[in-house]
Amino acid sequence: MPNEVIAIAIKGVMPTANGWAVFLGNDEKTFVIYVDHSVGNALQMAISGVKRERPLTHDLIGHILLGLGARLEHIVINDVNEGTFFARILLHMENELGRKVIEIDARPSDSVVLALQHQRPMYVARSVFDSVEDMTEVLERVMKQQEAAAESDSDDTDSDSDSDSDSDDESDSEDEGEEGGDEEPGEDEDKS
């Protein structure tokens, strides 16, 4: 691969108010592209390895490529203009007529989904990589917030199950004739 492109990977995919933020980069730098809800969902499903009963658009494109004997070689995010990114999909076709490399203009979001689904490399042009803002710290901060929220949810779930077992104990003792029935129904529920 020539020096004018840099290998990248997906570092994070997060929902936003208007779609999804897709963090791309390498150890040196992370940048973000924003995609609509449907592409964000497709990315999340591709990352998670979710299999759908019926093919979605990106699945259909993959089936068409397979049917035509074409293989996705790699994708390149090759330009950015006023916050809008551009990409190219490189396909390789070989049949009885010969070998052919096809380059197709595409949205980076669609290109990334296809690269993930086909487990193919993703690149960014050096000029694009150098011009975008480094979002590594933002991604790390958001990931820490998500981890803290997940731990908090986990702690809440644990304390809920602890209080559930406590209320089971109280129920058992009430059944045995002990006092403690001054509370209104539902008052012993979690008040967090």
Which tens digit of pLDDT belongs to each residue from 23-39? 999 999 999 999 999 88
Kindly state the percentage of the chain with pLDDT values over 70: 79
Distance CA 148, CA 26 (A): 24
- Where is pLDDT greater, at 26 or 55? 26
Task: Band the pLDDT of 158: cuts 50, 70, 90.
Answer: low
pLDDT-derived band at 175, boundaries 50, 70, 90: very low
**Dist. CA 75–CA 97, nearest whole Å:** 25
Please, where are the H alpha helices in the chain?
37-48, 57-68, 108-118, 126-131, 136-175
The structural domains of the chain, ordered by start, are 5-145 (3.10.690.10)
What are 140-151's pLDDT values in tens digits? 998 898 888 888
The Cα-based distances of 66 to 41, 42, 55, 71, 191 in angstroms read: 23, 19, 14, 7, 56
pLDDT digits (tens, 9 = 90+) for 87-135: 999 999 887 878 889 999 999 999 999 999 889 999 999 999 999 999 9
Q: What is the pLDDT of residue 115?
A: 93
The token pair that represents 183 in the structure block: 């509370």
Q: What confidence score (pLDDT) does residue 31 get?
A: 96
**Antiparallel, parallel or unpaired: β 5-16 and 122-125:** antiparallel
What local confidence, expressed as pLDDT, does residue 117 receive?
87
CA distances from 96 to 64, 69, 73, 93, 99 (A): 19, 11, 19, 10, 8
DSSP secondary structure code for residue 120 in this structure: -
CB of 148 within 8 A of CB of 101? no
- Report pTM: 0.72
pLDDT band, residue 159 (cuts 50/70/90): low
Least confident piece of the model among 38-52, 130-144, 151-165: 151-165
Whole-number Å distance between alpha carbons of 156 and 153: 5
